[in-house]
Amino acid sequence: MVVFLPELLDYLGESFGIGKKILFNRSIAQIKLGVSQAIPIALIVNESVTNAIKYAFPAGQPGNIHISMHESAEKINLVIADDGVGIDPGILEKNTNSLGLKLLKGLTVDIDGEIEIVNENGTMIRVSFNRDQFNEFTALSSSN
């Protein structure tokens, strides 16, 4: 993922033409994942970052999007956080399942993970999951 995620972030930044208005702060450990986990993780990052670019910084407001992925003794933790306007509290309080939230929750279920969405000084999405030991040899990232 250390190779793939930065490329995905570069692509998203170029696609939305963010220039230097929105900065990506990356802290991505060298973690090899099997395809069954790498694809859902890439889709979670894509959806979360795309939403942050589109909605967190209205009227061309500058901001930061922090993306981190690290492995602890028990879990792999992915965090996507922005310092933008945050999600409408009514959406989270009413547990409204917009298409984007349904997608994030469904992809997290696919990897037997847990998702937490916090709306404080922007939006933070944390996904925690166990490594799938059976697919470790079909990793998408390299060790260089």
Name the residue ranges covered by the structural domains of the chain: 4-41+52-138
Query: What's the pLDDT score for residue 144?
Result: 37
Query: What's the pLDDT score for residue 1?
Result: 55
**Tokens matching residue 76:** 């792999």
**CA-to-CA distance for 76 and 41, rounded, in angstroms?**
11
Query: What's the pLDDT score for residue 133?
Result: 64
- Residues of the chain short of pLDDT 50, as ranges, are 2, 137-144
Query: What's the pLDDT score for residue 140?
Result: 39
- pLDDT tens for 95-105 read 666 788 889 99
Give the closest residue to 41 by CA, choosing from 79, 10, 72, 74: 79
- Look at the domain 4-41+52-138 and name its fold: Heat Shock Protein 90 (3.30.565)
- Helix (H) or strand (E) holding 63, with range, is strand 63-71
Do 69 and 118 form a contact (C-beta atoms < 8 A)? no
Query: What's the pLDDT score for residue 138?
Result: 38
Query: What's the pLDDT score for residue 134?
Result: 59
Query: What's the pLDDT score for residue 112?
Result: 95
**Tokens matching residue 138:** 């079909």
- Give just the sign of the alpha carbon dihedral 137, 141, 142, 144: negative
Residues 6 or more apart whose Cβ sits within 8 Å of residue 72: none
